[in-house]
Amino acid sequence: MSDSIKLFGTDGIRGVANQFPLTPEFITRIGSAIAQALGRDTTQPIALIGRDTRASGAMIENALSAGLMACGFDTLHVGVLPTPGIAFLTRALNARCGIAISASHNPYQDNGIKVFGGDGFKIPDESENEIETRAQNYELRITNYEIGTRRDDTSSIQIYFDFLLDAIKRAPILQGTRVVIDCNNGATFRIAPRVMRELGAEVIALNDAPDGININRGYDSLEPKLLRDTVLRERADFGVQFDGDGDRAVCVDERGNYIDGDFILAILARDLRAPTVVSTMMANIGLEKSLRAIGVAMERTAVGDRWVTERMRALNAQIGGEQSGHIVLFDGGHTTGDGIYTAVRIADVIARSGKSLATLAECMTRYPQVLINVRVPRKPPLENFPAIQQRVAHAQATIGDGARILLRYSGTENLARVMIEGRDATLIDREANAIADVIRETIT
């Protein structure tokens, strides 16, 4: 094949399980390509592999393992584990790479492959490009390699569990509190309740019985209604919701207010006394104003934790993240966003400050923001459609200069996203829907 198809998006390889590129045959080729791209000049290379709770996870895991072992890699399988736990263990166990099999917050039919380097960070673009080329090279022949071995060892999960508790020196900081946790039947279903109980909390666990197809069922990244209703009914101190692979966390305070990633960044930036916070174009203007009030600069990147992490590394920043609850904290030695780690750090701030989550969240005022997802069959450049651009210009003129309008495609799904932020909630809702209608008519 002379021209490679783009396999990697902003968050690894993503698709519908059992359809290209996530067929067993092609996944085996991906495994071999990973080994050949990352295994040069390495003695006894090890690939650490974990997954979330999707029914297709075991199939993908076995196909990847076959391709890796055929090229001389040993594979270490840690079972169901949050994606950030896989990244952490990759570095802790000196593996050559780590592979998380997950489609994050997507429905169960989807799945994906995320590849981390030995340093625990996502592999660079050059490595992704080489994997794509090798996987799609029909002349690929595997020779001159020792066949690798497979080892299953879920006991190494304890290393990640210890890391989470060591973040707060194993103190029972939540003694006497009641906490609601929604695991969305994903990779956190065992470890998150266990961590919170170890911290002393009375835990009320929701969606902690995965069956392979109920992962992310009813998941809402910004307004988790089930979590809110349960916190209020149980009179809990706060609630935390994780997505399917556990790299995101959003909260509900004791009053039932939604505490998204913007609020979490505002709270943790104050606790860390961070000079700079990195977030994305989707971050609410309220976060920017909240940080400016304490002399903290905010850097905006394109949407996606990859871009946030890269900018943090360039600036030597210790904290960054997204409104969706993907929070990256480098101060504790982590390399990627981690929902459970975020929850532990928020719990620590609550305990040390003696303040409730609702009180802590008063440091930021959220500006009205509307986000509409429009399903599309393809993703042509939105700026190429005069009708869409004219409707955006009309909306900007109608709302005024105080508004922000952002149009973009999802990096992981066939969705066009329309976001408008301004002071008048009714007006921005009307204009966002009008733009969404034009996108729907123009592209679909």
| Cβ density class 150-181: b for 16+ within 10 Å, e for less | eeeeeebbeebbebbeebbeeeebbeebbbbb
pLDDT at 138: 60
CATH architecture of 167-363: 3-Layer(aba) Sandwich (3.40)
CATH for 369-443, among 3.30.310.50, 3.30.70.3270, 3.40.50.20, 3.40.1260.20? 3.30.310.50
Catalytic residue among 104, 221, 279, 324: 104
d(CA 93, CA 84): 14
**Alpha carbons 340 and 199: distance in angstroms, whole number:** 12
Distance CA 180, CA 238 (A): 7
* Catalytic residue list contains 104: yes
Q: What crossing angle do the helices spanning 57-70 and 24-38 adopt, rounded to 10°?
A: 50
| pTM value > 0.85 | yes
Contacting residues for 343 by C-beta, under 8 A, at least 6 apart: 192, 195, 196, 240, 249, 251
CATH topology of domain 8-157: Alpha-D-Glucose-1,6-Bisphosphate; Chain A, domain 3 (3.40.120)
pLDDT for the residue 122: 96
- The CB density around residue 84, as the number of other CB atoms within 10 Å, is 30
- Residues sharing a CB contact under 8 Å with residue 404, sequence separation 6 or more, in sequence order: 285, 419, 420, 421, 422
Domains of the chain: which residue ranges?
8-157, 167-363, 369-443
In three state form, how does the secondary structure of 193-205 look?
Answer: HHHHHHCCCEEEE
Cβ–Cβ contacts within 10 Å for residue 342, how many? 28
pLDDT at 1: 46
Write out the two tokens for 16: 């519908």
Domains 8-157 and 369-443 share a fold: no
Q: Give which of 312, 305, 311 is closest to 83, Cα–Cα.
A: 305
CA atoms within 13 A on the CB side of 40: 6
Enumerate residue ranges in the chain where pLDDT < 50: 1-2
DSSP, res 366: P
Distance CA 216, CA 264 (A): 22
